[in-house]
Structure 1
């Protein structure tokens, strides 16, 4: 009996490994095929990054959309680009194809991290479903063609989550330090994620109610984050004579004050005013004199912009259909619309690590309501939404199956009892 059980387990393990390898092979194929079979468009932001990186390498000036040093954008992605530019001799070769191929490698490592996090949170079945969906979810393929922050930011986010979960489980200073380091790299790539540290540790304290342990882990996470942020802050103090922890870019916040992106609504006279002054005046007038319009815009209006469509990368032609039309769009819509159900399901048993995914999605969604809404903002949330949806979906199916089997067994038991007693 022991031998038979061992053989069955060995065959099951072999089957799972085979499926895992096949899914990864599929993921690698569609990503490489995408890069090779379409013409990639270059976005306005990418062109600005290119000018910035060339200026940095040739003149030693770190500045975005300017020839004077500034801190308009954090240095994570520009330095990533600069390293590749130097490696491939950018003055004689186009560096963009190399960046795209490296991003494919990063995307595959991110895919493994997504699987690893899902496995830790919800087990083997859910993690395999998450892996399959993530391998063919179209934006995770299209983003590799965009010379933008999404692919790198998603990698650092999943690395941070994986290390943070491990730090919470093992409670060691080293893992807390490493999770902070991942957060630091993430913030240098996309600064809005810095806000996550406080709510994440707030949730952990609510789980454990161990103040000293929570404070110790939080301290080392902050130290790890600071290791990567402090050089950037010092640079800004020395060069710009001001303390800048993330970036000084105001435009995304200011642009978010225009309902339905109507930038010519004439609500405020912009002449002679800074972007921040205009933004503050617009918010004051908007919420006092056009209350319903602004409340709707800063809630359902921006949510619709952020989540209603897939992130398309920088664009390409002809359209690369990862899934037969319209399955890609339907997959995205299904994931987004099922997410509220998954969030509600996770709240039922909130003292579990899966709730951390819900918290991150909620915090980042609320944070992004303050800025101009773009489809690209849903990109880093989608791995977490896929995990939540898969976990909730499997839980619902298991509950339905158990209920059906219990009902079926009860009916069979009643029939057996009736036959044994001779009663109709």
Structure 2
């Protein structure tokens, strides 16, 4: 038996278009009403970005938390801010409100890209549910008020995933080059995503069993990424006299070595040592002398910090309740706690395009366990979690319906594992 979620309901095109327009209308209203009806807090990171951008525009120095050139952060978001600052004449107008409204537009385009990615890997019913959930998921609304990387990074991530799915489908050099260029833009916004390239093509090789094709597509993807990153790499080589592909910031890695964020645990003497030296010594002592504590921290401890609560952006007042309390938190926890079920269901039949999303979620979660855990780290993962949950949830409901109506003949494991159009190959 195959579960075809696209036939849970039969849509006529005008009705489908009406549904999409209504959902987007609600999404626009919630995001616009949020930006206009609250006082937005400015975070410590935003203040540092503001100082950085003004220094760049006025003195031509690209430096984060310093007056001397550095590569502490990648230039994607600072350059986005600098462009807005210039367009609105930041000497006369506060540029932050303009950035927030531009981010609103970006978030709506991202919502459409999430829907397009969903349609690439599943049927219409699940895709509409994904679109609806993403339109009202509170962090996707609150983040528009935060002058931080989340909104822009999620846009590039979903655009990259969509094009990468096209690369697997079309197998052309141009599509791979474009996918690589989008990966470059994503890395310039959030550097940790660079690690995805090799696992993505390792998955493609084991899926398609075509070494020459995989290597060709990987080559053009790396070429596209390299072209986009090259100005940044060249700048770092010329200005800093070192090869920096992403960024040089070590603090998040070092801060991640403190179990439960107890930064005064006195495990090592930090005097006269670099952050990397402190981090390495803490890991050596931690895993040898406090093995259980550090093992727990680097697994369930950090996972709890990352996924247990919603991302609130930079904060605002009064609190904008996108959904009546406590529905927002309940929705988040339901999505997170159902995700392991979805992961198992998709991994059981991994030779399919949805596995790309599963792989990205797993790799990024494991990568973030190396750094200091923050709730904001779950933000870029949530579109993928919502897509995976919707596909699996619809598959389970379809199987239950078939069992209740006695129209199915398969067992529960087969029913959940086989998706047909719900998980296209």
Pick the TM interval, shorter chain.
over 0.9
| Alignment match, 2:16 | 16
Moved over 3 A (4+): none
Counterpart secondary structure, 1:319 = coil
Counterpart secondary structure, 1:406 = coil
| Alignment match, 2:190 | 190
| Alignment match, 1:64 | 64
Pairing 1:258–2:267 present: no
| Alignment match, 2:417 | none
Aligned partners of 2:76 and 2:408: how far apart in 1? 58
Query: Over residues 239-288 of structure 1, what are the superposed CA-to-partner deviations in whole Å (9 max), with x where a residue is unaligned?
Result: 00000000000000000000000000000001111111101000000000
Q: Relative to structure 1, is the Cα distance of residues 345 and 11 closer, same or farther in structure 2, using a 3 angstrom cutoff?
A: closer
| Alignment match, 1:242 | 242
Q: CA deviation at 1:10?
A: 11
Count of paired positions: 401
Aligned partners of 1:222 and 1:408: how far apart in 2? 46
Aligned partners of 1:408 and 1:267: how far apart in 2? 60
- Contact 2:402/2:408 (8 A) holds in 1: no
- Contact 2:71/2:247 (8 A) holds in 1: yes
- Contact 2:182/2:225 (8 A) holds in 1: yes
Aligned partners of 1:98 and 1:245: how far apart in 2? 30
| Alignment match, 2:34 | 34
| Alignment match, 2:357 | 357
Structure showing greater relative contact order (alpha-carbon pairs closer than 8 Å, 6 or more residues apart): 2
Query: Over residues 322-345 of structure 1, what are the superposed CA-to-partner deviations in whole Å (9 max), with x where a residue is unaligned?
Result: 000000000000000000000000
Pairing 1:389–2:389 present: yes
Bigger Rg over Cα: 1
| Alignment match, 2:284 | 284
Aligned partners of 1:206 and 1:256: how far apart in 2? 33
Query: Over residues 20-61 of structure 1, what are the superposed CA-to-partner deviations in whole Å (9 max), with x where a residue is unaligned?
Result: 000001001100000000000000000000000000000000
| Alignment match, 1:213 | 213
Q: CA deviation at 1:79?
A: 0.2
Query: Over residues 294-332 of structure 1, what are the superposed CA-to-partner deviations in whole Å (9 max), with x where a residue is unaligned?
Result: 000000000000000000000000000000000000000
| Alignment match, 2:415 | none
Q: CA deviation at 1:11?
A: 7.5
Q: Relative to structure 1, is the Cα distance of residues 294 and 408 closer, same or farther in structure 2, using a 3 angstrom cutoff?
A: closer
Q: What are the ranges of 5 or more consecutive residues in structure 2 without an aligned counterpart?
A: 1-8, 410-425
Counterpart secondary structure, 1:373 = coil
Aligned partners of 2:12 and 2:72: how far apart in 1? 53
Q: CA deviation at 1:347?
A: 1.2
Q: Relative to structure 1, is the Cα distance of residues 408 and 369 closer, same or farther in structure 2, using a 3 angstrom cutoff?
A: closer
| Alignment match, 1:4 | none
Query: Over residues 161-209 of structure 1, what are the superposed CA-to-partner deviations in whole Å (9 max), with x where a residue is unaligned?
Result: 0000001101111111111111000000000000001111111111100
Aligned partners of 2:245 and 2:177: how far apart in 1? 19
| Alignment match, 1:149 | 149
Greater CA drift, 351-360 or 301-310: 351-360
Pairing 1:374–2:374 present: yes
